[in-house]
Structure 1
């Protein structure tokens, strides 16, 4: 007991995420502090609460950390929890949810789960250790469930915090260009985005050209002495890049001969 209050009450008052405004069950005003956006993530309501959060963090977080690196993963994890706390803090009162302190790492864990689903969408997760379900479907279903359960205030679960963590995880991975995420390509128009493929020298076009820009390729005699030079792949790549930028007609005679010789060798 501290000044007549239980230790749990003191810990919640200073380290759990307190609402802004309102009064607690003891009649005291809630004590919101900025640092609580971090400290609440390390508090839990019992063994089962912390066990399942840490099990999910281990299950999904290990590979996400391997991709991001330990330092970036720590930042990502903490800010997932901060975003979860902010969304719950400001949106829950608008939906008429009762004011109460919030604890737990579930929001940050949802951010990690969302990141896993984006980085490894087709990885199988064995539900109940028996039923194989792809990560994108299982985690996607959990997020949809959280969205549908927002109004269930009696469940004593901060569903908005879960959604806040998932939202941050989605945006972080989406805009972190150091990671190859196929989902990112859905936001690019197909005629602006093309994957570069090895060229077919027989028929290959770059962009759109006017008919006036088209020139007929000349035939070169490969028996000429000046053609007997070593041609490297770097030279061919540089020529192809030049074609993509300026067109075939901008090539020098030597570059055209190199391209023609490479084409003959491939055939």
Structure 2
């Protein structure tokens, strides 16, 4: 496949770079985060448009560089098969799916901890009030045990980055080009895409469920990666099925 920059990838790169420059240039470095990062829906900082805008925000230079490199590397090949319009739709839907799965996971952590604390005699109103201030009560720790960290961080979590959408693109690449060989920078062993990509997704799922980070920073939204990958797989599955059905009836 020709490895230039296709139109859809080019426009996505431009939007991400402009948003990153805006983050650095406007306000005190936090203004864009307050407007465009995805906050937990129970937080007063949440706004509906953040479901879209968060996927064009990035935490630091390395974050955007890795994501944009992956977008160019895999997105170009996928867009050449899909066409620009279908590629953009696929990208955005994968990003939305990533956000939904990540938020659902946060709700699970939050509601599980909240129920445990209320059953232990704590006031729900007081709990929410403390969390809204970005704090926590040390008396919660022995009650929640290993679940404390997930509960305490869920309410005030923010999500930024194109990773969820890019994981959808990775899945599409793996299904379109299963025999292509890929490798990690720090582990230069070529592995076919049909094995490499599922392995990366499985590692992210393991990290999300256990809290043990293997390759990525501990604050990575692993379930967003899994959600983007799952959404990408479902889109590929149903689109291929519709194409087969259309061919059969024609």
TM-score (norm 2): 0.63
Alignment-derived partner of residue 11 in structure 1: 32
Report the secondary structure of 1:143's partner residue: helix
Report the secondary structure of 2:208's partner residue: coil
Note closer, same or farther for the CA distance 1:130–1:180 as it changes in structure 2 (3 Å cut): farther
Alignment-derived partner of residue 194 in structure 2: 136
Tell me the distance in 2 between the aligned counterparts of 1:153 and 1:18.
Answer: 23
Note closer, same or farther for the CA distance 1:44–1:9 as it changes in structure 2 (3 Å cut): same
CA shift for structure 1 position 95: 2.8
Alignment-derived partner of residue 21 in structure 1: 42
Greater length-normalized contact order (CA 8 Å, ≥ 6 residues apart): 2
Alignment-derived partner of residue 172 in structure 2: 115
Note closer, same or farther for the CA distance 1:57–1:179 as it changes in structure 2 (3 Å cut): farther
Question: Is 2:199 the counterpart of 1:145?
Answer: no
CA shift for structure 1 position 74: 0.5
Report the secondary structure of 1:125's partner residue: strand
Tell me the distance in 1 between the aligned counterparts of 2:69 and 2:243.
Answer: 26
Tell me the distance in 1 between the aligned counterparts of 2:102 and 2:212.
Answer: 12
Equivalent of residue 92 in structure 1, options 106, 110, 114: 106
Alignment-derived partner of residue 78 in structure 1: 92
Alignment-derived partner of residue 220 in structure 2: 157
Alignment-derived partner of residue 6 in structure 2: none
Question: Is 2:66 the counterpart of 1:52?
Answer: yes
Report the secondary structure of 2:158's partner residue: coil
Q: Where do 1:1-267 residues align within 5 Å?
A: 7-22=28-43, 29=44, 31-96=45-110, 97=150, 98-99=153-154, 100-128=157-185, 130-151=188-209, 152=211, 155-177=218-240
Tell me the distance in 1 between the aligned counterparts of 2:243 and 2:61.
Answer: 37
Question: Which runs of 5 or more structure 2 residues have no equivalent in the other structure?
Answer: 1-26, 111-149, 245-250
Tell me the distance in 1 between the aligned counterparts of 2:80 and 2:181.
Answer: 18
Larger Rg: 1
Question: Which runs of 5 or more structure 1 residues have no equivalent in the other structure?
Answer: 1-5, 23-28, 182-267
Tell me the distance in 2 between the aligned counterparts of 1:85 and 1:8.
Answer: 23
Cα deviation code 1:33-84 (max 9, x no counterpart)? 2211111111101110001011111111111101110011011101111111
Question: Alignment length, in residue pairs?
Answer: 170
CA shift for structure 1 position 180: 8.1
Note closer, same or farther for the CA distance 1:180–1:132 as it changes in structure 2 (3 Å cut): farther
Tell me the distance in 2 between the aligned counterparts of 1:93 and 1:174.
Answer: 28
Note closer, same or farther for the CA distance 1:42–1:153 as it changes in structure 2 (3 Å cut): farther
- CA RMSD across the alignment: 2.3
Q: Do the aligned partners of 1:92 and 1:160 also contact (CA within 8 Å) in 2? A: no
Tell me the distance in 2 between the aligned counterparts of 1:172 and 1:93.
Answer: 25
Tell me the distance in 2 between the aligned counterparts of 1:48 and 1:35.
Answer: 25
Which 4+ stretches in 1 moved above 6 angstroms?
178-181
